[in-house]
Amino acid sequence: MILTRGLRPRQMTAAEAIDLIPTRATVAVTGAGGGVLEPEALLAALETRFVDTAQPRDLTVVYALGMGNRRGDGAGRFAHRGLVRRVIGGLWTWSPELRQMARDEDIEAYALPGGVISQLFREIGARRPGLITEVGLGTFADPRHGGGKFNVAATDDIVELVELDSREYLRYKPFGVDVALVRGDVMDRNGNIGWAGEAAQLDALSIAQAARASGGIVIAQVKTVTDDTLDPHIVHLPAVLVDAVVEVPTQWQTHESEFDERLCSPGDLDNDTACPVATVREVIARRAAALIGRGSIINVGFGIPTHVVDILAADGRLRDNTIVIEQGIIGGRPLTGDLFGAAVHPEVVHSSTTQFDLINGGLLDLTCLGMAQVDAHGSVNVSCIAGAVNGPGGFVEISQSARTVVFCGTFTAGGLELALDDGRLRIRREGRVPKFVRSREQVTFSGSRALATGQRVIYVTERAVFVLGASGLELTEVAPGIDIERDIFAHMGFQPIVDGPRQMDPMLFGAAVALAPR
């Protein structure tokens, strides 16, 4: 099919729209885990066309935040040999199928910070010479440490080190975008697209800009096409940027529900609080929450850190602080689990591209993030575990920019079982996988850079708390019932600094109860 541009996007079926994608095209896609803003109908049509016709082939796929449900949807639609040649992703964990293809060297696998990819789309859209930023210095994205390459097949240098005014920066190189796949809620009679019924905007506008500036096409999926005219204040993707539109009346807001009004409208958070259950996650989250003062602008990452929000809500402290997540949401209460990326009753929903600007500009007072590996110098790895590409999502931007960084996680992983016994912590079965290691696989957060920039860095586990000092990690708190030599040092790959650690608050450990394993 040949597409001719008009004043209004051309409406067509998903199959017809996908027929516009040529072999060896670079395809940019918007979306976030849990189905937030994922153009699933377009991705499914692309997968079907390839399975039926072996076309298109050898695509390059680029996306900033994770997409999928770990069961083949989202980014998993690309997981066919021959369909994709290269993937540049911000977060890979939602698609085990693509991760396996990267392991098997079936594709060229790259990962970059999610905000970098989002902002790079914008730079491409303005025809500027790439993104020049300090984000990623000293991490896996730095060309001195891999430059975002995650397998042998990935050989191109997509990042370079540059110096301006005697300071180091990374330049993320621009590329052409042939096709942008985006999603919105409604298209009006003029062809303008709004997001009023969506849980996030993400980087749909930036992706569309990149395609238009590259001479490519923009294909949008929407739930509704209306004969009305949208309020110009809720139009986020103008008709002048869109070439084709596919109406999908069955489009769901997330993977879990067709529509949840709470995710796109104001409301009373007091009606949406839920008391956390007694798990090891609650112990860690409560200790982390104790570090948050009144009036803070805070961010939480996926996993255990999201439970910090549950603690704040249960304690009536949620209104005392403002929660910010990288998907473009300010205020409200971020959801946990697979719907992380949406929030109940958000106060502001703007683009993730703009959100990363704010984060990089120092918006955050404190962030709570996960940790998979920590070394003696306080550097943290979450982007590559056991040789598998995870990608960082917004981790790099957030951890480099927040004034206080609190890493939250169990002390070990893999079968860890714990119990609370009258305010004391007892280890019933130790985890098989240590997290505090002599040599981590990759650097996603640089401890030395944090020290150089004056960040406060704390590591909270269920049995111990560490802080980052000039000489490395220092053990500052130990849970009641824990033996330092047996339960801490014996499961670390290095010796931390020890100078009279105090006891963790026994109130964190409550009454006698068995804690659910991680």
Q: Which helix (H) or strand (E) holds 85?
A: strand 84-89
Strand order in the sheet with 297-300: 348-349, 329-330, 322-325, 297-300, 366-370, 404-408, 456-460, 464-469, 472-478, 497-503
Q: Can you tell me the distance from the alpha carbon of 318 to that of 333, in angstroms, rounded to the nearest whole number?
A: 8
Alpha-carbon distances of 334 from 199, 251, 321, 396, rounded to whole Å: 11, 22, 13, 20
* Catalytic residue selected from 40, 108, 282, 326: 326
β-bridge pairing 384-385 and 388-389:
antiparallel
β-bridge pairing 329-330 and 348-349:
antiparallel
Alpha-carbon distances of 435 from 177, 194, 287, 370, 390, rounded to whole Å: 39, 44, 19, 11, 16
Q: For residue 166, what are the contacts with CB-CB under 8 A and spacing of at least 6? A: none
The β-bridge partners of 131 are 172
Number of H helices, E strands in the chain: 10, 34
Q: Can you tell me the distance from the alpha carbon of 434 to that of 139, in angstroms, rounded to the nearest whole number?
A: 21
Task: Look up 462 and say whether it is catalytic.
Answer: no
What do you get for the CA distance between the two ends of the chain, in Å?
51
Burial class (CB in 10 A: 0-12, 13-18, 19+), 319: exposed
Q: Which helix (H) or strand (E) holds 497?
A: strand 497-503
Return the C-alpha torsion angle 234, 237, 242, 248, nearest 10. -60
Q: Can you tell me the distance from the alpha carbon of 57 to that of 85, in angstroms, rounded to the nearest whole number?
A: 8
CB 394 within 8 A of CB 328: no
CB 403 within 8 A of CB 339: no
Neighbours of 54 (CB within 10 A): 12
Go through 106-130 and write b for each residue having 16 or more CB atoms within 10 A of its CB, e for each that does not.
bbbbbbbbbbbbbbbbbbbbeeeeb
CB 370 within 8 A of CB 382: yes
Angle at 353 between CA 211 and CA 239, to 5 degrees: 45
Left, alpha or beta for 159 (phi > 0: left; psi -120 to 50: alpha)? beta
CA-only gyration radius of the chain, Å: 23
DSSP 8-state secondary structure symbol assigned to residue 316: T
Strands (E), 263-408: 297-300, 322-325, 329-330, 333-334, 343-344, 348-349, 366-370, 373-374, 380-381, 384-385, 388-389, 404-408
Which sequence positions are flagged as catalytic?
A: 326
